[in-house]
Structure 1
Amino acid sequence: MLETDILTALFALGAALAWGSGDFSGGLASRRHNVYSVLLAAQLVSIAPLLVLALVFEQALPRASDLLAGAVGGVFGVVGLVSLYTGLARGRMGIVAPLAAIIASIIPVCIGMITEGAPTLWQTVGFAIALIAIWLLSSDGGRKLEATPVELRFALLAGVGFAAFYLALDSFSGETALWPVFAARLASMSLLALYVSKRRQWSMPPRPLLPLVALTGLLDTAGNFFFVLAAQAGRLDVATVVSSLYPAITVLFAWLILKEHLKFKQRIGVLTAFAAITLIAL
């Protein structure tokens, strides 16, 4: 049991590292170009390498149910992503981002407790600390916590979308991992392309920006793959909560590379995130 929890936490930590790094590189690219074009281009770049990896390394043919679950997860992931960015554009980051992250974590944790039984005492404490860490890491430091109806609506949509994405990736049979991730990426890319074209927000990123865009797509795909491995290795709640600590990685990179000043809440958030990971893996 202990070895399983540690393995799950390690895979989930790999997802957090990849997603957090991808958010950092994607954030850099989005400072210089339209955010939706960056997201779509990143997914377009990552689809071909993912297909090649699936063809080379996956021995078993994918089940139709796994491909369907991956596609459904990809759709919900894009709904969550678009809702999050819309909420950030129309509301306050300090309310929308942490609230969406908390919702996205709580739903799989509750379902995991129902389907897999109650976690250990240390894991329960770790989950509580992790939720606090997620809020601290995602918050912009604002003091006013009352959410407007618009902020609440888009945070809820984003959180439910991301939670459904986690649940879909957890439903794979375990016989294959890369093919469902490929199906998720294909579905999310197609839906995002429709959204961007309908809003007429597509413009090709400039050539000097393409390596950063490609890195963003590859890191996001790697994060999805590690999350699938984590969910297949052990408990869904462990996989979800640990991987949801990815903002700590983004904050650390912003501090190390961009020399951005860490707010007090973010410093506490990074420390509590590491404490939560340690407790969850016990």
Structure 2
Amino acid sequence: MTALLALLASAFWGTADFGGGIVSRRMPVVLVMLTSQVVALVLLTAGLCLPGVHVHIGVYLVYGALAGFLNLFGVFAFYRAMTSGPMSLVAPIAACGTALPVAYGLLRGEHVSVVQGAGIAVAFVGIVLVSGPEFRSGFAGGRTILLALGAAAGFGSLYLFSGLGAPHGVYGTLLAEKLTGIVILLPFVIATGTLKGMEFKRSTVGLAVVVGLGDIGASASYDSAAHSGHLAMVSVLGSLYPVVTSLLARQVLHERLRTVQNIGVLAALGGVVLINV
């Protein structure tokens, strides 16, 4: 069940990223992100009315807040890196953030068999390859590399701190994460005047809401999987979303995957099989 939930998180995140990429062509990225956070918070707040759902005060809420903040930092660094350097170098570096929760999990003594360890390594390579690395795509300066590493650290921290908070309370971790995102994004949107002159089509807003539903579905699935405490395995299986996004782009938008990306898809799937042996 743990592996299934982590894979479900990848499916949700991959679908949300695909939808986010489409809707970002129609409205500013920061508004897409804010809409996603608001949708999630509304659903989580409504869920508090359900019997048996409660949030207790504890340090795990800090983990959730850190996950929300550092994820936004990662997204910001990722987009800044892509504006100053080739995407085919930035994306693979950012994908390496998965190594952070994996390393933490292994260092704290999580038991992983030799076959599962090989699966984690193969899946990790697959994640990087699906991101489409191409080392002849242009020069990347030191600033671009630092921003890409910052993105990796931000994304990896999301998996790490969500995983640390979830065993103490999945619901509270999710609430803290999404609330932190709104507290940061809303003042930014207001201060920068992003909403001025914006015309919102119903279809665009609807798609942004769907992206938000995918995001909260992914976060809930990942945190539920991380509740088991197997952070090394869960973080890798929950990081396979680039595979889903790439396959959706291929099927829906008829984009062609490069050879290295096809190899990455196969490696990621092979890694999943090994992890679950």
| TM value normalised by structure 2 | 0.91
Aligned-residue RMSD, C-alpha: 2.0
Tell me which residue corresponds to 2:23.
29
Change (3 A) 1:106 1:77: same
- Which among 197, 201, 207 is matched to residue 202 of structure 2? 207
More displaced stretch, 55-64 vs 39-48: 55-64
The residue type paired with residue 124 of structure 1 is G
Measured against aligned partners, the alpha-carbon deviations of 1:65-91 in whole angstroms (never above 9, x if no partner) come to 232221121111111111111111222
| Cα deviation, residue 142, structure 1 | 5.3
- Which among 130, 140, 143 is matched to residue 150 of structure 1? 143
- Which among 55, 73, 77 is matched to residue 79 of structure 1? 73
1:185 and 1:154 map into 2 onto residues whose CA distance is 24
| TM value normalised by structure 1 | 0.90
Give the total of aligned pairs: 275
- Which among 172, 180, 184 is matched to residue 179 of structure 1? 172
| Cα deviation, residue 113, structure 1 | 0.7
The residue type paired with residue 259 of structure 1 is H
Measured against aligned partners, the alpha-carbon deviations of 1:219-241 in whole angstroms (never above 9, x if no partner) come to 11111111111111241011111
Tell me which residue corresponds to 2:90.
96
Tell me which residue corresponds to 1:162.
155
Tell me which residue corresponds to 2:131.
138
Q: Is it true that 1:236 corresponds to 2:237 in the alignment? A: no
- Which among 89, 99, 103 is matched to residue 106 of structure 1? 99
1:31 and 1:223 map into 2 onto residues whose CA distance is 23
The residue type paired with residue 279 of structure 1 is L
1:27 and 1:134 map into 2 onto residues whose CA distance is 19
Tell me which residue corresponds to 2:242.
247
**Structure 2 alignment gaps of length 5 or more:** none
Tell me which residue corresponds to 1:4.
none
| Cα deviation, residue 144, structure 1 | 4.4
Measured against aligned partners, the alpha-carbon deviations of 1:216-265 in whole angstroms (never above 9, x if no partner) come to 11111111111111111241011111111100000111111112122212
1:45 and 1:101 map into 2 onto residues whose CA distance is 26
Change (3 A) 1:209 1:174: same
Tell me which residue corresponds to 2:35.
41
The residue type paired with residue 12 of structure 1 is A
Change (3 A) 1:55 1:71: farther
- Aligned-pair identity (%): 31
Q: Is it true that 1:14 corresponds to 2:13 in the alignment? A: no
Measured against aligned partners, the alpha-carbon deviations of 1:157-182 in whole angstroms (never above 9, x if no partner) come to 11111222212111226353122202
**Structure 1 alignment gaps of length 5 or more:** 1-6
The residue type paired with residue 277 of structure 1 is V
SS in 2 for 1:32: coil
The residue type paired with residue 120 of structure 1 is S
- Which among 181, 190, 203 is matched to residue 183 of structure 2? 190
TM alignment of 1:215-226, pairs within 5 A: 215-226=210-221
Q: Is the 8 A contact 1:70 1:183 kept in 2?
A: yes
Q: Is the 8 A contact 1:141 1:263 kept in 2?
A: no
Q: Is it true that 1:124 corresponds to 2:120 in the alignment? A: no
